[in-house]
Amino acid sequence: MASLKTSAAQTALRETRRAPYVCPRCELRQRGFSPFNYIPRRQVRYSSSDAATPPLLAKIKNDLKAAMKAKDTPRLNVLRAMITEYNDAAKSSTPIKTDLQLLSILKKRKAASEAAAAEAKQANRQDLEEKQMQEIKVMDEYAADVKLLPEDQIRQAVQQAVDAMKSAAAAVDLKPGLVLKDLFKTGGALDGKPVDKSQAARIVSEVLGQK
């Protein structure tokens, strides 16, 4: 009987020494945290919207919802392809950050669609040709939303750069690549300007051809 009393006493002693249970939310409240504002670390999500989104991409994403409701297949094909290109680039070392980069993608996709339309026409597949032409029309619409430096201003900058480079080294036979490098270098006449480089390259070739 005495042993039973001793065992009961020891059990009671252990119970009193055991730390009382405090629920996690109560513990947070005691430390000054609100359980309603607390988010466990594993639930934190980082949104891609934290980075600056190119205006054209924002428009594409918004228009995608409208195109889905309208069941506009040509527009859906173009918009989904553009978003896929953007997401793929985001995982690479050259993410898309500007409307000019999106414009470059639009032009490449347009060239591919034009080639596909030509092949469809040659094969007498009017349905496929029409599909490509509809998508080209959509691509042209979005390409027109990118505001670029007017061609006359680009031509003026190119002419000034060519004249300056020829004055500095009259014996040098200027190449288009050398002029373009000078125009787009840090502090160059077209550095940071909304300029389509393919357009600038064409103008450089034309200006050099006039000399």
Q: What is the DSSP string of 122-183?
A: HTT-HHHHHHHHHHHHHHHHHHTTS----HHHHHHHHHHHHHHHHHH-TT----HHHHHHHH
Looking at the structure, do residues 64 and 134 belong to the same domain, yes or no?
A: yes
Residue type, position 152, single letter: D
- For residue 8, pLDDT over 80 is answered with no
Q: For 20-30, write each residue's pLDDT tens digit.
A: 555 655 655 55
Looking at the structure, do residues 39 and 96 belong to the same domain, yes or no?
A: no
Looking at the structure, do residues 165 and 86 belong to the same domain, yes or no?
A: no
How high is the mean pLDDT of the chain? 82
- For residue 11, pLDDT over 70 is answered with no
* Listed residues 118, 143, 168: the one ending a domain: 143
- For residue 118, pLDDT over 70 is answered with yes
* Listed residues 102, 126, 143: the one ending a domain: 143
Looking at the structure, do residues 15 and 84 belong to the same domain, yes or no?
A: no
Residue type, position 46, single letter: Y
pLDDT band at 45 (very low <50, low <70, confident <90, very high): very low
> Mean pLDDT throughout 115-141?
96
What residue numbers bound the domain in which 103 lies? 52-143
d(CA 56, CA 50): 17
Measured between its terminal Cα atoms, the distance across the chain in Å is 119
Looking at the structure, do residues 85 and 132 belong to the same domain, yes or no?
A: yes
Looking at the structure, do residues 134 and 190 belong to the same domain, yes or no?
A: no
- Predicted pLDDT at 52: 75
- Whole-angstrom CA distances from 193 to 77, 157, 168, 182, 205 are 30, 11, 25, 14, 20
* Listed residues 143, 168, 195: the one ending a domain: 143
Looking at the structure, do residues 126 and 163 belong to the same domain, yes or no?
A: no
Is residue 123 in some structural domain? Answer: yes
- Predicted pLDDT at 168: 81
Which has more pLDDT, 160 or 40?
Answer: 160
> Mean pLDDT throughout 70-86?
96
Looking at the structure, do residues 59 and 139 belong to the same domain, yes or no?
A: yes
Looking at the structure, do residues 89 and 168 belong to the same domain, yes or no?
A: no
Q: Which of 170, 168, 163, 169 is nearest to 189 (CA)?
A: 163
> Mean pLDDT throughout 10-29?
55
CATH (domain of 63): 1.10.1510.10
Looking at the structure, do residues 16 and 67 belong to the same domain, yes or no?
A: no
> Mean pLDDT throughout 172-194?
89
Is residue 1 in some structural domain? Answer: no
Is residue 158 in some structural domain? Answer: yes
| Strand (E) or helix (H) holding 81 | helix 73-90
Domain tally, the chain:
3
Looking at the structure, do residues 139 and 59 belong to the same domain, yes or no?
A: yes
Which has more pLDDT, 47 or 190?
Answer: 190
Residue 91 class from Cβ within 10 Å (0-12 exposed, 13-18 middle, 19+ buried)? exposed
Looking at the structure, do residues 69 and 136 belong to the same domain, yes or no?
A: yes
- Predicted pLDDT at 206: 93
